Structure 1
Amino acid sequence: MRARLATTVGGAAATVSRLAGKGDGSVIGGIIGLRLAPDLLSQLATGRQVVLVTGTNGKTTTTKLITAALAPLGSKIASNIYGANMEAGLTSALSRAPDAPVAVLETDEKYIPAMVKATRPKVVVLLNLSRDQMDRAAEIWLLARRWRDALAAAPDCRVVANADDPLVAWAASAAGKVTWVAAGQRWREDSWCCPNCGAHLQREGDDWSCRECGGRRPPVSWMLYGDEVIDPSGRATQLGLALPGRANRSNAVIALAVAEAFGVHLSHALAELRKVTSVAGRYTQVNRRGCDIRLLLAKNPAGWLEALDVMVPPPVPVLLAVNAQGPDGKDTSWLWDVDFRRLRGRPILVGGERRLDLAVRLEADEVAFRLVNDIDEAVDAALAVGAAAAGPGGTAPSLEVLANYTAFQQYRVALGRVQ
């Protein structure tokens, strides 16, 4: 009775929040529900097949892709696809879909132990681990230890893990059942040492091993190879995703491995993945005053490395924006771990609340830039570049926007909260 009351009151609060324009209600509803029934999440998860998705980067996209890959099951799927990934957000997602037998839930890295205990998941997905918001988040080796302990205590849970990330592999190796995926690891600055003994790792391509303790990359069942996925039978299939970049191909292979755990055939899951064109505003293209704008999100050095790779080539202008609010982390020193030299020679605009921090970093890499105050000033600059470059039959002016979390959300609101 208490759980029903908590769900009803929380749902009403979420509706009021949406109607008042305060957001989508994905957090406040869960907060109020948990105040009334502290074990509400456990009660809502009972009887469902739950998938928890975690990692430093790619959680929201992978959650969306897994949800799509499981569509052939034909059942309703509960999910927090807009990124409310702590206990209140998970609770709210389950409350909104009380009859959904399956739930795919993005989960903040440090909440995994508590959420594994509360939801008793069928599958836990481990994507990657790297530095992120060090002013408020735990050190990544400590996170890996907590993951390892939580998974060791859940022997019935299937773990789908990226074997190419040594920290992830070490954490997942304590689980009773693991599906290993060769999803790649481009950012390696946080994984040069063995997570088991601390010795220096030997690395060749995506393979890694430790000469001191014998730890090594586990044999994989699924592999990303260029634009192809190689399944456990050894068959290669073209991915053909609408989402750009290697990181999203990696996320897709993870999603296919999860779909297999639910009995969904690869061809059926892949057909659904190819339909995904945008994730909570990421990669969305909009037009503002005749300028085509594409929105990209990156929150840390590893994310910026991947995002810079999917940008269209010059002379298209790029707007870089950085904030340092609570959800971003207030320490912007991570900017010095990003290699901005590849942006030399193209029009660069710099915005966000911490644009001066970013400006200093670009100056150090000898990247010319112009400061802008808002998205419309950036559009004006892009229109000017487009007008100067346009010739007979030329294409419409365009602008690439790369921003960290709260700056990205501010631009989404300014552009009409594109989905």
Structure 2
Amino acid sequence: MAGNSDPLTPRAKIAVTAGKAVAAASRAAGRGSGSVIGGRVALKLDPDLLARLAQNLDVVLVSATNGKTTTTRLIAEALRAAGPVVSNALGANMPAGITSALAGGSEARYGVIEVDEKYLAGVARDTDPKCIALLNLSRDQLDRAAETRMLAENWREGLAGSKAVIVANADDPLVVWAASSSANVIWVAAGQMWKDDAWSCPSCGGVMQRPGDDWFCGECGFRRPTPSWALSGDHVLDPHGSAWPIHLQLPGRANKANAASSAAVAAVFGVPPQVALERMYQVQAVAGRYDVVQFQGRDLRLLLAKNPAGWLETFSLIDPPPTPVILSVNARGADGTDTSWLWDVDYTRLTGHPICVIGDRKLDLAVRLEVANQQFQVCENLDQAVQLCPPGRIEVIANYTAFQDLRRRVGN
């Protein structure tokens, strides 16, 4: 449990100070927040710094392919009902960024930390979390991310023997397989719209049966656990069967699912669902996602979609046709350089929308849209795309670095 003694050795204090100085210099040079470079320097000076910074905090780790930044933000808001929170709210989710975030929260009681899927086991070892939320696993960054089954295996091995309470999505077989090695799991029925990464059983490789919302392996008996929390329409059902209304400013079913998981996490820390959900209403946008901005006299809503599962969820929340849509795809280091995932996205869902295509890989996307029989125009940049769009609010959907480019251009 959190205490008040100073956990930092003189060496750790020097590391924190140096990291903050480097981060400030990076910001002054216009190179972003500086949190990653600052964290790298601090960890070089004290390799145990992350563990030292975490030892006076009650830590929650949040990991998933989709939804971790938003869920981290929702949990942080909910836990502020119980005490001060430190969080890596801007999504720097590898050890250096996490170290930087925790170094800035000396008064905090809770640490709410988003963790990249590949780093979950190591960060869990360092931070001794009280709770770990696992939302989903799906294909992403195909050129460098481990295949999803391997990630699930890494989680399973890394979490075996953990004392943390695991809050896990009962509807994702890969997450269930990963969490099943843990002694204390709270299952949440959060749904799973994208199922293409979970047709074979992670336990034995058999074919998964999926009647309705249920799933099971006909060969080895691995099956969906009974959830104690559930998303049901616009409500969260708690373990006592009470239904709590979800009121969010964030759009879409996926964010209701994130709120359901967040309410289950908050309850681990003694924050009741009603209080947790009321606090989540404060969140209007997350690192620019869902923001509506003014640009060239038009309203643009900025939406992030990094992989097939994310694009599927995003298509479900855009305004109906004939709302214009701008799509932007890059394939830089942070996105993954392999764009073959575009062929896994069902772009026929955009039928009836006027579409403009921009970004480094606009021609890859254009070929994909051509095959999906979509009407679209390829544009040089956002300015040209906005000018070509018919009247009305514009939905702008972009993958990771394309989204950062858009935010810079619109001054967000």
TM-score (structure 2 length as normaliser) = 0.96
The 2-side partners of 1:244 and 1:17 are apart by 34
- 2:184 matched residue in structure 1: 177
Q: Confirm or deny: 8 A CA contact 1:166 1:194 kept in the other structure.
A: yes
Is 2:92 the counterpart of 1:97? no
Matches within 5 A, 1:217-232: 217-232=224-239
The 2-side partners of 1:97 and 1:104 are apart by 11
The 2-side partners of 1:289 and 1:361 are apart by 29
Matches within 5 A, 1:16-415: 16-73=25-82, 75-154=83-162, 156-382=163-389, 385-386=390-391, 397-415=392-410
Gap regions ≥5 residues in structure 1: 387-396
Is 2:22 the counterpart of 1:13? yes
The 1-side partners of 2:159 and 2:213 are apart by 24
The 1-side partners of 2:108 and 2:317 are apart by 35
Letter of the structure 2 residue corresponding to residue 351 of structure 1: I
What stretches of structure 1 move > 3 A for 4+ residues in a row?
A: none
The 1-side partners of 2:130 and 2:400 are apart by 30
Q: Confirm or deny: 8 A CA contact 1:71 1:269 kept in the other structure.
A: no
Letter of the structure 2 residue corresponding to residue 57 of structure 1: N
Letter of the structure 2 residue corresponding to residue 17 of structure 1: S
- 1:3 matched residue in structure 2: 12
The 2-side partners of 1:265 and 1:313 are apart by 36
How big is the shift at 1:99? 2.3
How big is the shift at 1:149? 1.1
Gap regions ≥5 residues in structure 2: 1-9
How big is the shift at 1:68? 0.9
How many residues are paired up?
A: 403
The 2-side partners of 1:31 and 1:373 are apart by 37
The 2-side partners of 1:4 and 1:111 are apart by 25
Q: Taking every aligned residue pair, what percent have the same amino acid on both sides?
A: 56
- What secondary structure sits across from 1:72 in the alignment? coil
Letter of the structure 1 residue corresponding to residue 333 of structure 2: G
- Comparing 64-73 and 201-210, the one that deviates more: 201-210
Q: Confirm or deny: 8 A CA contact 2:62 2:68 kept in the other structure.
A: yes
**TM-superposition CA deviations, 1:103-144 (whole Å, max 9, x none):** 011000010111111111111111101111121111111111
The 2-side partners of 1:101 and 1:267 are apart by 21
The 1-side partners of 2:311 and 2:349 are apart by 12
**TM-superposition CA deviations, 1:246-300 (whole Å, max 9, x none):** 1100000000000000000111111111121100000000111220000000000
Q: Confirm or deny: 8 A CA contact 1:141 1:195 kept in the other structure.
A: yes
Q: Confirm or deny: 8 A CA contact 1:148 1:171 kept in the other structure.
A: yes
Letter of the structure 2 residue corresponding to residue 58 of structure 1: G
**Alignment root-mean-square deviation, CA:** 0.9
The 2-side partners of 1:268 and 1:345 are apart by 41
- What secondary structure sits across from 1:204 in the alignment? coil
- What secondary structure sits across from 1:207 in the alignment? coil
How big is the shift at 1:25? 1.6
**TM-superposition CA deviations, 1:315-368 (whole Å, max 9, x none):** 221000000001100000000000111212221000000000000000001101
The 1-side partners of 2:278 and 2:85 are apart by 18
- What secondary structure sits across from 1:11 in the alignment? helix
**TM-superposition CA deviations, 1:362-385 (whole Å, max 9, x none):** 000110111112221122123xx1
**TM-superposition CA deviations, 1:125-171 (whole Å, max 9, x none):** 111011111211111111111111111131x2110000000010011
- What secondary structure sits across from 2:210 in the alignment? strand
